[in-house]
Structure 1
Amino acid sequence: MGQRNKLLHSDGDSDPMGVVANLFDVAMVFAVALMVALVTRFNMTELFSKEDFSLVKNPGKENMEIITKKGETIQRYTPSENQESEGKKGRKVGIAYELENGEIIYVPE
């Protein structure tokens, strides 16, 4: 009878760091699940594909940003009035319109 009682109440139950390790594991699983849910919710799965792409965030607004992926490198470009500090110069050359059928028309200035 003493042997059976000893198996039910082992010394591992009194380890306070075991609880912390379990909480850490639960937090890591939750963080990974949250990242996967956000990527699929905002349709950002192309960031993990092997294809090259360009993405324009907030087109035509002050905080517009162009994100391009070529191979393994992802570059972010934010157009601003003072481009000379970065060694990049550019100017607006036209406007692009997307029609209802998905066709894009470019109109030069």
Structure 2
Amino acid sequence: MRRRKNKFLNPAVDNDPVSAVANLFDVAMVFAVALMIALVTRFNIAEMFTQEDFTIVKNPGKENMEIITKKGEEIIRYKSNNNAKGDGKKGKRVGTAYELDNGEIIYVPE
């Protein structure tokens, strides 16, 4: 009498070691795409990929304030220098800034 092999209890063993590597590659690609999407949404850098010109002020009024400006293809980063207050440099008034009740700041050039 012959014994039948049960497919569910004794599955065929795949001895191909490359199949495991292919599965790991797929998992790594999904993880990399998810990480890139998370970084773009977390740091709000989607503006960097648009064609529009913009200016972003990070940490306004604080010691580590940074201004990021994009004009065309050129991106300029300016970090505030706390030494500029007392080093004898002079400047001129170029406009006035007003802060509204809702927190919006309006700059009026002179």
TM-score by length of 1: 0.60
How far did residue 60 of structure 1 move?
A: 0.6
How far did residue 103 of structure 1 move?
A: 5.5
How far did residue 46 of structure 1 move?
A: 1.3
Equivalent in the alignment of 1:104: 106
Q: 1:103 to 1:63 in 2, by over 3 A?
A: closer
How far did residue 41 of structure 1 move?
A: 4.3
| Structure 1 spans left out of the alignment, 5+ residues | 1-7, 84-88
Q: 1:74 to 1:25 in 2, by over 3 A?
A: farther
Q: CA RMSD in A?
A: 3.5
Q: How many pairs were matched up? A: 94
Residues 63, 82 of structure 2: 8 Å contact kept: no
| Structure 2 spans left out of the alignment, 5+ residues | 1-10
Q: Which has the larger Rg? A: 2
Q: 1:90 to 1:46 in 2, by over 3 A?
A: farther
Q: 1:100 to 1:36 in 2, by over 3 A?
A: same
2:99 partner letter: E
Give the Cα separation in 1 of the matches to 2:92 and 2:18: 61
Q: 1:71 to 1:42 in 2, by over 3 A?
A: same
TM-score by length of 2: 0.60
Q: Which runs of 4+ in 1 moved over 6 A?
A: none
SS of match in other structure, 1:14: coil
Q: 1:14 to 1:97 in 2, by over 3 A?
A: farther
Determine what percentage of the aligned residue pairs are the same residue.
65
How far did residue 68 of structure 1 move?
A: 1.0
